[in-house]
Amino acid sequence: YVFSNSNMVSRADENYAREVMQLFSIGLVKLNKDGTIQVDVNGVPLQAYTNEDIESFARAWTGFDRTAARGNIEQISRGSTDNRLDPMQVVPDWRDPFPKSNLDGGFIGDKYELCVDVNYKSFLKKGAHYRLLGGSSSPEMTKDPSYFSDPANSVLRAELDPTSALYLRLYNGGDYELDVLLENDMTC
């Protein structure tokens, strides 16, 4: 991320995303499969991407941090002791968690599927997978803001009707399974 003058995060740095697209992958204009340039009805070459695409791709490259300096290598570059030898590490809390648009009008995604991309009632379809994560409304394996851990801010994830097919399958007569894979479609 680029920092504003007040040392606050302002936006994802677009330079790397722009260089990857312009210099190392798709270039400036769209190409046909045979390598010829795609043009519009007026013969003007079609741009391969817009500045909005660059901004979106830049957010995909957030969350990286340098690894700690090694004790067995002395390296000082412009007064910095940052480790520039080992690969950078990903800090999950620094990542931009939202979907990134692709160049075809869809989304690359990162964590969240768009509702329009999910089959209607997919949670009831054959192959839906459920994992028992515990009884807390904010189990350890979810990534929620810390204020959800306060009981006053607790979030109810789901409350199933005890007569529903899904409830009966997950409850399994009180003999809970850690993993449940739906064997067939269920009715709502």
Q: Give the side-chain half-sphere CA count within 13 A for 187.
A: 1
Check pLDDT > 50 for residue 155: yes
Report pLDDT for 3.
Answer: 46
Phi, psi of 100 (to 5 degrees): -110, 135
- Residue 38 corresponds to which tokens in the numbers above? 């795609």
Give the model's pLDDT for residue 115. Answer: 63
pLDDT winner (highest mean) among 22-26, 78-82, 139-143, 144-148: 22-26
Would you state the pLDDT for residue 114?
61
The token duo for 40 is 């519009």
- Mean residue pLDDT across the chain: 77
Q: Which residue has the tokens 């192959």?
A: 127
**Percent of the chain whose pLDDT exceeds 70:** 70
Which pLDDT belongs to residue 74? 65
Distance between CA atoms of residues 59 and 75, nearest Å: 30
Residue 48: band (very low, low, confident or very high) from pLDDT cuts 50, 70, 90:
very high
Q: Please provide residue 116's backbone torsions phi and psi, each rounded to the nearest 5 degrees.
A: -70, -20
pLDDT category at 2 given cuts 50, 70, 90 is very low
Helix, strand, coil share of the chain (percent; to 5): 25, 15, 60
- Rounded Cα–Cα distance for residues 30 and 144 (Å): 40
